[in-house]
Structure 1
Amino acid sequence: MKNLRVIYVAILLGLSGCVSHQSEGNMNLANSRWYMSADDYQIADIKLPAFHLEETQQGYKISGSTGCNNFFASASWDGKQLSLTQPIAMTRMICAAPLNKIEMEFMQAVEQPIIRDGETLRLTNGAVFKRIPNKS
């Protein structure tokens, strides 16, 4: 009887792991807008990176701002990671020192996949992007 309980508990734990794994992959990125949280930057009145994802037949189209320049690329989403196709197209305006630093850090970080972290997206450098709620 004790062995049956152990097996039953193991099956339930296994199934609950599958359910939580499924729900993690259900984040819908179609036509979503994202902005970098200012938690990592204690700079007042600085425009931080933000982007928009548009679903296409091939995956996603991403466009946004580094805080100074605009960027454009295609991207793919596997439910856990958003990978931008390299090279990324970008405008080339000269940025002020703080914006230039943020832009360089952002562009280096998006060379690696952007990782899903709950309901946010996280760059490899630790910067967090939060979703802008859709207007109803």
Structure 2
Amino acid sequence: MNHATPHVGAPVHSFTQLLSSTRRGARLGRLLAVTELRSRGVSQDLTERAELVVAELAANAVLHGHVPGRCFRLTLVLDPAADRLRIEVSDARGDLRPLPRPTDAASDPLSTTGRGLTLVAALADHWDCVPYPPSGKTIRTELLGAVA
């Protein structure tokens, strides 16, 4: 569902897509996000940051939020007046709440997992996790700068 919502100044643009909780669905979510942002004239820097955030959150939704028969939801909200992009990824597993792993000497430097939310925290100006009724969760991020 794509629609523009009236807003004082510039319109707020919203893009929402349900995607299969598969690696292919996560990849498609990343590609759709980039296509949507480019079509809205979002800066290359913000588009690249958003691409990485969507890739990490979609991968987490597939790996950690998967419930058989349930999809995950990707939502992008562009607010040019506030110069802000909000990215939301909702999945069906509300019982698993994410926390970024601390980066310390005790962690395995050769590990290929466990850094996704640390990357999200570094790229986003803000992120949090809220319940997604009836039993899921939504990871929300905000990225500021050069929306359109």
Q: TM-score, normalised by structure 1?
A: 0.28
Higher helix share: 2
- Give the number of the structure with larger relative contact order, counting CA–CA contacts within 8 Å between residues 6 or more apart: 2
